[in-house]
Chain A
Amino acid sequence: MKLSRRCFLSFVIGGAAGTALSPLPWKLTDDIAIWSQNWPWTPVPPDGAYSYTPSTCTLCPGHCAIQVRKVDNRAVKIEGRGEKGPAGGICPLGLSGLQLLYGPTRIQAPLQRVGDRGAGHWRTLTWAQAIDAVVTKLAEIRAKGTPQALAAIAPTDQGTVAQLLQRLLTAYGSPNFLRMPSADDSAEAALRLTTGTDAYTVADLDKTDFILSFGCALMDGYGAPVQTIRAVTRMRERKGTLVQIEPRLSNTAAKADTWLAAQPGSEADLALAMAHVIIGQGRFDARFAMDRIDGFDGFARMVRDKYAPRNVAQTTGIDAETITRTALAFADARRPVALHGRGKGEMPGSLKEALAVQILNALVGNIDQPGGMQIHPAANGYIQWPAVASDAVASAGMGAGRLDEAGGSRFPHVRHLMHRFIERIDQDPDAVQALLVAEANPCHNLPDSDKVKAALGKIPFVVSFSSFMDETAMQSDLILPSHLYLERYEDVPVTRGGAKPTIRLCRPVVAPLYKTQHPGDTILRIAKALPAPVAAAFPWRDYETCLRDTLAHRWSAMDSKGFWIEKPVAAAPVAAAAAVETTNHNGPEEGVPAAADAPAAPAAATAQARRLALLNDDLSAVLMADNATLSDEAGHPLTLVPFDSIRTASGYAGDPPFMVKIVEDTVLKEQDGCVEINPTTAAQAGLREGQGALLSTPVGQARVRIHLSEGIMPGLLALPRGMGHTAYDAYLSGKGVNINQLIGSVQDPASGLDAVWGIRAKLTKA
Chain B
Amino acid sequence: MKQTQSQQRPKRYGMAIDLDKCTGCGSCMVACFAENNVSFKQDETNKLLSITWLRVYKITNGKPFPDTEVCYVPRPCQHCAGQHEGHSPCVSVCPATATDYSLYTGIVSQIYTRCFGCRYCMAACPYHARYFNWWDPIWPEGMERSLSPNVSPRMRGVVEKCSFCFHRYQLARDKAYLEGKRPIREEEYQTACTQACPSGAIVFGDLNDPAHEVYRIVQPDPDNHYKARNPRAFRLLERLGTNPKVYYLSSREWVRRAGDNYLENEAPGTIGAPRGAH
Binding site for B on A (CB under 8 A): 37-39, 41-48, 69, 71, 74-80, 85, 87-92, 95-96, 98-99, 101-104, 106, 219-220, 225-226, 229-230, 233, 236-237, 249, 251-252, 254-255, 259, 261, 646-647, 657-666, 668-671, 678-680, 709-714, 729-731
A76-B42 contact given A42-B137, A251-B25, A661-B33, CB 8 Å threshold: no
Contacts of B52 in A (CB 8 A): 661-662
A261-B23 contact given A95-B31, A99-B143, A101-B146, CB 8 Å threshold: no
Cα separation A406 to B60 with both chains bound (whole Å): 46
Give min CB distance, B54 to chain A, whole Å.
Answer: 10
Is B27 part of the contact surface with A, judged by Cβ < 8 Å?
yes
Contact of B27 among A42, A77, A91, A730 (CB under 8 A): A91
Q: Which of B37, B47, B60, B68 has the most CB of A within 10 A?
A: B68
Please tell me if the beta carbons of B144 and A89 are within 8 angstroms of each other in the complex: no
The residue of chain B having its C-beta at the shortest distance from the C-beta of A101 within the complex is: B146
Please tell me if the beta carbons of A77 and B136 are within 8 angstroms of each other in the complex: no
Please tell me if the beta carbons of A731 and B140 are within 8 angstroms of each other in the complex: yes
Give min CB distance, B223 to chain A, whole Å.
Answer: 31
Please tell me if the beta carbons of B190 and A87 are within 8 angstroms of each other in the complex: yes
Is B180 part of the contact surface with A, judged by Cβ < 8 Å?
no
Given contacts A87-B195, A89-B199, A230-B199, 8 further A-B contacts (CB under 8 A): A42-B137, A45-B37, A79-B196, A96-B34, A233-B23, A646-B26, A669-B45, A710-B68
Contacts of B153 in A (CB 8 A): 42-45
The residue of chain A having its C-beta at the shortest distance from the C-beta of B157 within the complex is: A36
Contacts of A99 in B (CB 8 A): 143, 146
Number of A-B contacts (CB under 8 A): 200
Please tell me if the beta carbons of A89 and B197 are within 8 angstroms of each other in the complex: yes
Please tell me if the beta carbons of B30 and A39 are within 8 angstroms of each other in the complex: no
Please tell me if the beta carbons of B199 and A39 are within 8 angstroms of each other in the complex: no
A661-B25 contact given A249-B70, A731-B42, CB 8 Å threshold: no
Contacts of B30 in A (CB 8 A): 92, 95-96, 658-659, 662
A219-B155 contact given A76-B148, A668-B45, A710-B62, CB 8 Å threshold: no
Cα separation A514 to B144 with both chains bound (whole Å): 16
Cα separation A104 to B24 with both chains bound (whole Å): 29
Please tell me if the beta carbons of A89 and B148 are within 8 angstroms of each other in the complex: no
Please tell me if the beta carbons of B43 and A670 are within 8 angstroms of each other in the complex: yes
Is B63 part of the contact surface with A, judged by Cβ < 8 Å?
yes
Give min CB distance, B112 to chain A, whole Å.
Answer: 8
Please tell me if the beta carbons of A74 and B196 are within 8 angstroms of each other in the complex: no
A678-B31 contact given A44-B153, A46-B149, CB 8 Å threshold: no
Which 8 residue pairs spanning A and B have beta carbons closest together? A89-B198, A45-B147, A219-B23, A87-B195, A229-B198, A98-B146, A233-B199, A47-B149
Give min CB distance, A717 to chain B, whole Å.
Answer: 14
Q: Give the total of B residues in contact with A, Cβ under 8 Å.
A: 65
Please tell me if the beta carbons of B44 and A71 are within 8 angstroms of each other in the complex: no
Please tell me if the beta carbons of B40 and A731 are within 8 angstroms of each other in the complex: yes
The residue of chain B having its C-beta at the shortest distance from the C-beta of A227 within the complex is: B198
A76-B146 contact given A91-B198, A261-B65, CB 8 Å threshold: yes
Please tell me if the beta carbons of B44 and A660 are within 8 angstroms of each other in the complex: yes
Contacts of A101 in B (CB 8 A): 146
Query: Please, could you name 28 A-B residue pairs with CB atoms under 8 Å apart, sorted by A?
Result: A37-B113, A39-B155, A42-B136, A45-B144, A45-B148, A77-B35, A77-B148, A85-B187, A89-B27, A90-B196, A90-B198, A95-B27, A96-B30, A98-B34, A102-B146, A104-B141, A229-B23, A229-B199, A237-B21, A249-B70, A254-B70, A658-B40, A661-B33, A661-B50, A662-B30, A665-B45, A665-B46, A713-B65
Cα separation A502 to B86 with both chains bound (whole Å): 51
Contacts of A220 in B (CB 8 A): 23, 25
Contacts of B45 in A (CB 8 A): 663, 665, 668-670
Is B145 part of the contact surface with A, judged by Cβ < 8 Å?
yes
The residue of chain A having its C-beta at the shortest distance from the C-beta of B156 within the complex is: A39
The residue of chain B having its C-beta at the shortest distance from the C-beta of A716 within the complex is: B65
Please tell me if the beta carbons of A102 and B25 are within 8 angstroms of each other in the complex: no
Contacts of A712 in B (CB 8 A): 65
Is B66 part of the contact surface with A, judged by Cβ < 8 Å?
yes
Please tell me if the beta carbons of B24 and A251 are within 8 angstroms of each other in the complex: yes
Please tell me if the beta carbons of B25 and A657 are within 8 angstroms of each other in the complex: no
Q: Which of B27, B37, B46, B143 has the most CB of A within 10 A?
A: B27
Cα separation A237 to B251 with both chains bound (whole Å): 12
Cα separation A729 to B69 with both chains bound (whole Å): 36
Binding site for A on B (CB under 8 A): 20-21, 23-27, 29-31, 33-35, 37, 40, 42-47, 50, 52, 56, 58, 60, 62-66, 68-72, 112-113, 136-137, 139-149, 153-156, 187, 190, 192, 195-201
Give min CB distance, B61 to chain A, whole Å.
Answer: 9
The residue of chain A having its C-beta at the shortest distance from the C-beta of B50 within the complex is: A661
Cα separation A237 to B148 with both chains bound (whole Å): 36
Give min CB distance, A33 to chain B, whole Å.
Answer: 9
The residue of chain A having its C-beta at the shortest distance from the C-beta of B26 within the complex is: A662
Q: Which of B21, B143, B146 has the most CB of A within 10 A?
A: B146
Contacts of A98 in B (CB 8 A): 34, 146
A74-B199 contact given A45-B153, A229-B25, CB 8 Å threshold: no
Please tell me if the beta carbons of B143 and A104 are within 8 angstroms of each other in the complex: yes
Contacts of B31 in A (CB 8 A): 79, 90, 95
Give min CB distance, A225 to chain B, whole Å.
Answer: 7
Give min CB distance, A218 to chain B, whole Å.
Answer: 9
Contacts of B112 in A (CB 8 A): 37
Please tell me if the beta carbons of B68 and A711 are within 8 angstroms of each other in the complex: yes
Contacts of A39 in B (CB 8 A): 136, 155-156
Cα separation A669 to B52 with both chains bound (whole Å): 17
A91-B25 contact given A96-B34, A658-B34, A670-B45, CB 8 Å threshold: yes
Cα separation A239 to B187 with both chains bound (whole Å): 28
Give min CB distance, A661 to chain B, whole Å.
Answer: 4
Please tell me if the beta carbons of A710 and B140 are within 8 angstroms of each other in the complex: no
Contacts of A662 in B (CB 8 A): 26, 29-30, 52, 56
Please tell me if the beta carbons of A249 and B195 are within 8 angstroms of each other in the complex: no
Contacts of A92 in B (CB 8 A): 25-27, 29-30
Contacts of B50 in A (CB 8 A): 661
Cα separation A77 to B150 with both chains bound (whole Å): 11
Contacts of B20 in A (CB 8 A): 236
The residue of chain A having its C-beta at the shortest distance from the C-beta of B60 within the complex is: A710
A38-B155 contact given A91-B25, A711-B65, A731-B42, CB 8 Å threshold: yes
The residue of chain B having its C-beta at the shortest distance from the C-beta of A662 within the complex is: B26
Please tell me if the beta carbons of A43 and B148 are within 8 angstroms of each other in the complex: no
Contact of A79 among B24, B136, B143, B195 (CB under 8 A): B195
Please tell me if the beta carbons of A710 and B198 are within 8 angstroms of each other in the complex: no
Give min CB distance, A328 to chain B, whole Å.
Answer: 21
Give min CB distance, A32 to chain B, whole Å.
Answer: 14
A225-B198 contact given A92-B27, A249-B68, A661-B40, CB 8 Å threshold: yes
A230-B200 contact given A101-B146, A254-B71, CB 8 Å threshold: yes
Please tell me if the beta carbons of A103 and B148 are within 8 angstroms of each other in the complex: no
Contacts of A710 in B (CB 8 A): 60, 62-65, 68
Contacts of A45 in B (CB 8 A): 37, 144, 147-149, 153
Please tell me if the beta carbons of A664 and B58 are within 8 angstroms of each other in the complex: yes
Give min CB distance, A413 to chain B, whole Å.
Answer: 35
Contacts of B70 in A (CB 8 A): 249, 254, 711
Please tell me if the beta carbons of B146 and A104 are within 8 angstroms of each other in the complex: no
Please tell me if the beta carbons of B142 and A103 are within 8 angstroms of each other in the complex: yes
Give min CB distance, A165 to chain B, whole Å.
Answer: 29
The residue of chain B having its C-beta at the shortest distance from the C-beta of A95 within the complex is: B30
Give min CB distance, A201 to chain B, whole Å.
Answer: 22
Cα separation A680 to B66 with both chains bound (whole Å): 13
Give min CB distance, B165 to chain A, whole Å.
Answer: 11
Q: Which of A229, A252, A663, A670 has the most CB of B within 10 A?
A: A229
Give min CB distance, A193 to chain B, whole Å.
Answer: 34
A261-B66 contact given A104-B140, A668-B45, CB 8 Å threshold: yes
Cα separation A679 to B60 with both chains bound (whole Å): 14
The residue of chain B having its C-beta at the shortest distance from the C-beta of A79 within the complex is: B195
Give min CB distance, A445 to chain B, whole Å.
Answer: 21
Cα separation A254 to B187 with both chains bound (whole Å): 31
